[in-house]
A and B are shown apart, each in its own frame.
Chain A
């Protein structure tokens, strides 16, 4: 059956793509949609969803496809609905410090537009040139700056979403403070395209700091880097981000051969100088390396991009046990037989040091290469590891999840090869409030049209 015909009636000719290349770009672990739709207006996008609903097709809302590596295999995947051409900057109210933008604009595009006003949208997940606003919202994407600037949930003040049946709804507005009605921004943030397609967003903005400096402190062990990070967080500093890297991560990012603590500070010269002083008092004057301006910015970009899909190939190039990964494209697009795993841990910050040390020891014993970067103040750690043996990867993944649970935290597998998805749940089956979540899915997408099966508990 040709499912594309009805879409051609509601979209311009080039809005419906069916070439191998086009659909392949939005494949999820070998599942390929029959077509990719590129609506240019909200009305057209809404019509697409209505058509898909009437034809009982399963739709996955996407932007550029950067985040498709995370999530369980969809139960069905007929159509990819991309917001990439819905990318207008609708309003930058510099004096109000807000921006309203369509969902298909990338984070980099938005931030370029804000730069003349010396403002920014401080969301810094990997690959800002490709990651769209819609993807960042749908996946609750974050980066090092979450420590000081917050996440999507802290910055998103208004949202427009098209539901599975094509209905346009909105939550919030364009003002920075607003408690009218239920907070739909929170509902759609991190919902992984299972409740609707985000088409427009309004964010609070922040002034860009006068200047920024990055400090790096080499340490002997990963646990020491994480503990030192906690000391920094407890001291009289106001860091923009505080990261701990294990030795493998530091080496893969060309930052030397030892575990590292990295502290980013922004602000006036006085503010940076006093923080530099205090960090030296805390960590030892000789040990603190200072990277200003371009050099610091480059290192920050490497840290930011670490969890992203582009990193694993880099890790493989730097460290031989991962040679099986090959180089080049993103891991999700590779075939069977690659043993690799990306895991995101959510823990209490105080538990990072011991959990990460245990994980490293275990990886070492299994001769697995394991790079770890953590946003220490937020208790988030990204573990990236590889091995030629699938069973070893699965066992290690289960070990990570058990360790997280034991520490009252969570482990999600945010990068998994296709053939391991059947053996590992990306999420965790026992998330709190799962029956309410199923209820939410049922009322907003009663027929299960949107990204079915991708999210927690089979949602």
Chain B
């Protein structure tokens, strides 16, 4: 579909070394962190500027070729899997921090800038970029904007959409538009807010203006060890009921704790039923009293021990364990599938019971590591892809877990996105009328449907391929 003429045109725009068309080199781009489906693009082009993106997209528009934008490929729902899109536009070379405004706490960065670079660039001045997905050392701001990424600290500080003030976007016809901006309350519809979380279906985001936050004066990071998952979840409810909003409130169950401990040797007791990581932040005054209240709430729920991180090193080690928990799972099974669902906070104990029950019924090992304070669960289903029956059971169990989330008043994704993975589940939560409005909205940005087709919305007539897992990529 993409002939030599077009490859030549792309080379002329972005340079020879910025166009990848050799099958062996293209293999890297066959999937993101969602590895159950794969598809190799015909051409990958890596522009170095928004102007190059404009020129590339104009060529594709003229030739009526569909394309898919891609950041670092750390997404977990197949958001940048090429589906009927022969060309992939990667933003990795657009990695400049364009402007940092310390007084107004804004940063304008190109889409390929890595999430953590933003905080690294401003932390000496007491500022930070709040959204901190577990993949923050690799994932890009463009990808975060596409997925409306979260992370542990979003409980207090909000997700990506709460921190993006404006975007620069190349529409699928090649027009460059600026939406929102550096100031708040720009007149007109909040199109920035609509582009964030659109999973790259509205165009290629080439830059974003971000809000920076003041780093809190100090932190108290507590580790609570519990005999049972129920005690841990009761503690979560107790903390929220006390009117305390921690900066983060994370849970890991026994299976995950064992894997994490084997990988990082933090000192977690591997016989505990569950652990909670509870981080409080803010002004130093009063924080110890708040930490004391949290400690008492933990003890009232029969915590075996509660330990407060004694210094920044211990705090960092604790967070490293949590954020790399997914990576540690590799020790437990050849393959795993990370699910992402949300329930009302009070339903966390119930959904965990149902997950246990689903695991028992399908004879699968399922671990849980998740943002408990938000009710955002991440059950991890372990399997071996060589066993076709296990694969079938993993898919069926995942679907049941998501259905249970919906039945409990929740939703099918809290931060990973719909991508290709959950298209089939969209009708669980949205009516045909809801989906029609979404599809009309998409047509405003992309009337020809050439930008990241086959994502988010179930299209009548299009069928989701039977998912056949191949290999497990690193997460």
Partners in one complex: yes
Chain A interface (Cβ < 8 Å from any Cβ of B): 93-98, 118-119, 140, 150, 153-154, 163, 167-171, 173-187, 189-191, 195, 206-208, 230, 234, 236-238, 267-271, 273-275, 344, 346-350, 378-380, 408-410, 412, 427-428, 431-434, 436-437, 439-440, 442-444, 455-457
Q: A171-B434, A379-B104 are in contact. Are A432 and B178 (CB under 8 A)?
A: yes
**Residue pair A440, B444 in contact (C-beta under 8 Å):** yes
The chain B residue sitting closest to A208, CB to CB, is B243
Q: Residue B462 at the A interface, CB < 8 A?
A: no
Identify B431's interface contact among A95, A169, A237, A456, CB under 8 A: A169
- Docked Cα-Cα span, A98 to B457, in Å, equals 27
**Residue pair A433, B177 in contact (C-beta under 8 Å):** yes
**Residue pair B184, A378 in contact (C-beta under 8 Å):** yes
**Residue pair B178, A177 in contact (C-beta under 8 Å):** no
Q: A234 — which chain B residues lie within 8 A by C-beta?
A: 103, 214
B25 to chain A, nearest CB (A): 32
**Residue pair A180, B434 in contact (C-beta under 8 Å):** no
**Residue pair B413, A180 in contact (C-beta under 8 Å):** yes
- Docked Cα-Cα span, A88 to B162, in Å, equals 28
- Docked Cα-Cα span, A428 to B418, in Å, equals 36
Q: A170-B434, A179-B148 are in contact. Are A207 and B441 (CB under 8 A)?
A: no
Can you sample 5 A-B contacts with CB below 8 Å? A153-B162, A168-B433, A408-B181, A410-B185, A443-B441
Identify B411's interface contact among A119, A175, A428, A433, CB under 8 A: A175
Identify A187's interface contact among B189, B286, B410, CB under 8 A: B189
The chain B residue sitting closest to A204, CB to CB, is B158
Q: A208 — which chain B residues lie within 8 A by C-beta?
A: 243
- Kindly supply a per-residue 1/0 record for chain B positions 432-469, scoring 1 wherever the CB is within 8 Å of any chain A CB and 0 otherwise: 01110110111111000000000011000000000000
- Kindly supply a per-residue 1/0 record for chain B positions 167-187, scoring 1 wherever the CB is within 8 Å of any chain A CB and 0 otherwise: 000000000011111111111
Q: A167-B433, A169-B433, A274-B285 are in contact. Are A177 and B150 (CB under 8 A)?
A: yes
**Residue pair B417, A175 in contact (C-beta under 8 Å):** no
**Residue pair A181, B456 in contact (C-beta under 8 Å):** yes
Q: A350-B103, A379-B184 are in contact. Are A182 and B346 (CB under 8 A)?
A: no
Q: A270 — which chain B residues lie within 8 A by C-beta?
A: 285-286, 289
Q: Residue B282 at the A interface, CB < 8 A?
A: yes
**Residue pair A176, B189 in contact (C-beta under 8 Å):** no
B433 to chain A, nearest CB (A): 5
The chain B residue sitting closest to A191, CB to CB, is B189
New A-B contacts (5) at CB < 8 Å, excluding given A170-B430, A189-B190: A208-B243, A267-B286, A433-B178, A433-B191, A437-B191
**Residue pair B189, A347 in contact (C-beta under 8 Å):** no
The chain A residue sitting closest to B340, CB to CB, is A179
Q: Residue B193 at the A interface, CB < 8 A?
A: yes
Q: Residue B87 at the A interface, CB < 8 A?
A: no
Q: Residue B426 at the A interface, CB < 8 A?
A: yes
Q: A206 — which chain B residues lie within 8 A by C-beta?
A: 245
Q: Residue B344 at the A interface, CB < 8 A?
A: yes
**Residue pair B375, A174 in contact (C-beta under 8 Å):** no
Q: B410 — which chain A residues lie within 8 A by C-beta?
A: 173-175
Closest 3 CB pairs of A and B: A186-B193, A207-B243, A270-B286
Q: Residue B161 at the A interface, CB < 8 A?
A: yes
Chain B interface (Cβ < 8 Å from any Cβ of A): 101, 103-104, 106, 147-148, 150, 154, 158-159, 161-162, 177-194, 196-198, 214, 217, 237, 240-241, 243-245, 282-286, 289-290, 342-346, 371, 374-376, 409-418, 422, 426, 429-431, 433-435, 437-438, 440-445, 456-457
- Docked Cα-Cα span, A427 to B435, in Å, equals 31
**Residue pair A349, B414 in contact (C-beta under 8 Å):** no
- Docked Cα-Cα span, A238 to B157, in Å, equals 14
Q: A271-B285, A427-B188 are in contact. Are A350 and B414 (CB under 8 A)?
A: no
**Residue pair A153, B104 in contact (C-beta under 8 Å):** no
Q: A177 — which chain B residues lie within 8 A by C-beta?
A: 150, 154, 159, 342, 371, 374-376, 414-415
Tally of A-B Cβ pairs under 8 angstroms? 243
The chain B residue sitting closest to A97, CB to CB, is B240
Q: B245 — which chain A residues lie within 8 A by C-beta?
A: 206-207
Q: B197 — which chain A residues lie within 8 A by C-beta?
A: 179, 182-183
Identify A439's interface contact among B343, B371, B444, CB under 8 A: B444
**Residue pair B189, A440 in contact (C-beta under 8 Å):** yes
- Docked Cα-Cα span, A94 to B237, in Å, equals 11
A354 to chain B, nearest CB (A): 13
B316 to chain A, nearest CB (A): 22
**Residue pair B434, A179 in contact (C-beta under 8 Å):** no
Identify A444's interface contact among B285, B414, B440, CB under 8 A: B440
The chain A residue sitting closest to B181, CB to CB, is A432
**Residue pair A96, B345 in contact (C-beta under 8 Å):** yes
**Residue pair B409, A174 in contact (C-beta under 8 Å):** yes
The chain A residue sitting closest to B286, CB to CB, is A270
- Docked Cα-Cα span, A173 to B410, in Å, equals 7
The chain B residue sitting closest to A236, CB to CB, is B217
Q: A118-B243, A349-B104 are in contact. Are A173 and B429 (CB under 8 A)?
A: yes
- Docked Cα-Cα span, A227 to B189, in Å, equals 31
**Residue pair A140, B185 in contact (C-beta under 8 Å):** yes
**Residue pair B441, A409 in contact (C-beta under 8 Å):** no
**Residue pair B187, A412 in contact (C-beta under 8 Å):** yes
The chain A residue sitting closest to B178, CB to CB, is A432
Q: B217 — which chain A residues lie within 8 A by C-beta?
A: 236
The chain A residue sitting closest to B409, CB to CB, is A174
- Docked Cα-Cα span, A118 to B241, in Å, equals 10
Q: B289 — which chain A residues lie within 8 A by C-beta?
A: 268, 270
Q: B409 — which chain A residues lie within 8 A by C-beta?
A: 173-175
Q: A432-B178, A433-B177 are in contact. Are A179 and B413 (CB under 8 A)?
A: yes
Q: A168-B433, A183-B193 are in contact. Are A97 and B345 (CB under 8 A)?
A: yes
Q: A179 — which chain B residues lie within 8 A by C-beta?
A: 147-148, 159, 197, 413-418
**Residue pair A349, B186 in contact (C-beta under 8 Å):** no
The chain B residue sitting closest to A175, CB to CB, is B342
Q: A378 — which chain B residues lie within 8 A by C-beta?
A: 184-185
Q: A169-B433, A379-B183 are in contact. Are A443 and B443 (CB under 8 A)?
A: yes
**Residue pair B282, A238 in contact (C-beta under 8 Å):** yes
- Docked Cα-Cα span, A348 to B147, in Å, equals 27
**Residue pair A174, B283 in contact (C-beta under 8 Å):** no
**Residue pair B193, A432 in contact (C-beta under 8 Å):** no
The chain A residue sitting closest to B168, CB to CB, is A432
- Docked Cα-Cα span, A425 to B56, in Å, equals 38
Q: A455 — which chain B residues lie within 8 A by C-beta?
A: 188
The chain A residue sitting closest to B147, CB to CB, is A179
The chain A residue sitting closest to B148, CB to CB, is A179
The chain B residue sitting closest to A431, CB to CB, is B188
Q: A271 — which chain B residues lie within 8 A by C-beta?
A: 282-283, 285-286
**Residue pair A433, B374 in contact (C-beta under 8 Å):** no
Identify B344's interface contact among A98, A167, A268, A431, CB under 8 A: A98
Q: A456 — which chain B residues lie within 8 A by C-beta?
A: 187-188
B241 to chain A, nearest CB (A): 6
Q: A181-B430, A238-B283, A436-B191 are in contact. Are A176 and B374 (CB under 8 A)?
A: yes
